[in-house]
Chains A and B, each alone.
Chain A
Amino acid sequence: MASRNSFKQLEEEQMATHPHTPPEIEQNVMGNMRFVKTVGNVLELYLPKLFELMLALFGGYSKDLKEGGNKDSAESSPEGQSK
């Protein structure tokens, strides 16, 4: 293979013509990143609870809700909650 590579030289020339990316690109990328992270955190925090709540509303069985219910009221029966 040839030792010279005009493609790489051309790339260097082009990068010298545009030595810096516009700063708003970085701001937008980081902004998008923060937004995605926040949405991810919110979903991680609330989605399982929402799912359990929906399950309970439609008469399903949720172990967590049952355990929570037992802590709150020791007298209530587990059969009653799963209905």
Chain B
Amino acid sequence: MQNDPLGKQGNAGKQSDSELVKLYLSTQESMYFSKLYQRYSNKIYSKCISLLKDEGLAGDATQEIFVKIFLNMSKFGEKSKFSTWVYSITYNYCIDYLRKRKKDRKLFSDELENPPDIQEEVPDSELLEMEVSRLKRVLENIPSGDKAILLMKYQDDLSIRDIAGVLDKSESAIKMKIKRAKHKAQLVYKQLFPNG
């Protein structure tokens, strides 16, 4: 048997994410990384498909995201949950990719030259309680950046601070982006489903 200082090789399935990270860093055994891969690969892959809208691109993205995770594992400082860190890397990669691909096109509603004026904030419940099939259509029809920011907040429960880290913006800028993304989603919903 190879180096297993904590004697936990057989219990890898029961370890928490941060325990697996510690075990991997101390032993360099690929089985611990493999366990993390099994836990997150499907989520990351489906997130990439949802954001990049192409299975081939999503496969390449998933691969590169896991290589990034592996290369930066020692920098994971447990300031946040491992899942939050992993999703941050995922969104960061996808948003970067979309920015490069779209070049001059704006990714977020608030990057438009004349962003719409918003007086009232759309209540969270309006989005959270939307019929799933309708939500899917709404997300397909809003700018990719708005979609990503709504997924970060409502699907992966990333904090404003985490989102600010992903997008390299201030927390107040993120609050404004979320507000505009919700407004855009509401607008698109009304266009797609005028009868409510």
Binding site for B on A (CB under 8 A): 1-2, 4-11, 13-15, 17-22, 24-26, 28-30, 32-34, 36-37
Shortest CB distance B127–A (Å): 7
Complexed CA–CA distance, A30 and B63 (Å): 10
Would you call B129 and A15 a contact (CB within 8 A)? no
Complexed CA–CA distance, A33 and B59 (Å): 17
Would you call A7 and B151 a contact (CB within 8 A)? yes
Across-interface contacts of B136 in A (CB, < 8 A): 10, 13
A29 contact from B67, B127, B130, Cβ within 8 A: B67
Across-interface contacts of B155 in A (CB, < 8 A): 7-8, 10-11
Chain B at the A interface: SS class: helix
Complexed CA–CA distance, A28 and B42 (Å): 15
Shortest CB distance A17–B (Å): 7
Would you call A5 and B46 a contact (CB within 8 A)? no
Given A7-B128, A14-B49, A30-B30, A25-B41 contact (CB < 8 Å): yes
Binding site for A on B (CB under 8 A): 28, 30, 33-34, 37, 41-43, 45-47, 49-50, 55, 59, 62-63, 66-67, 70-71, 124-125, 127-132, 135-136, 139, 150-151, 154-155
Would you call A28 and B30 a contact (CB within 8 A)? no
Chain A at the B interface: SS class: helix
Q: How many A-B residue pairs have CB under 8 A?
A: 87
Complexed CA–CA distance, A36 and B50 (Å): 30
Across-interface contacts of A30 in B (CB, < 8 A): 30, 34
Complexed CA–CA distance, A7 and B59 (Å): 22
Shortest CB distance B26–A (Å): 15
Complexed CA–CA distance, A33 and B42 (Å): 19
Would you call B128 and A4 a contact (CB within 8 A)? yes
Across-interface contacts of A17 in B (CB, < 8 A): 46
Would you call A14 and B50 a contact (CB within 8 A)? yes
Given A1-B124, A6-B130, A25-B59, A36-B46 contact (CB < 8 Å): no
Complexed CA–CA distance, A43 and B124 (Å): 52
Given A6-B130, A6-B131, A25-B49 contact (CB < 8 Å): no
Complexed CA–CA distance, A13 and B50 (Å): 11
Q: Which chain B residue has the least Cβ–Cβ distance from A8?
A: B155
Across-interface contacts of B46 in A (CB, < 8 A): 11, 14-15, 17-18
Complexed CA–CA distance, A52 and B46 (Å): 50
Q: Which chain A residue has the least Cβ–Cβ distance from B43?
A: A15
Q: Which chain B residue has the least Cβ–Cβ distance from A17?
A: B46
Given A25-B59, A29-B63, A36-B71, A18-B132 contact (CB < 8 Å): no
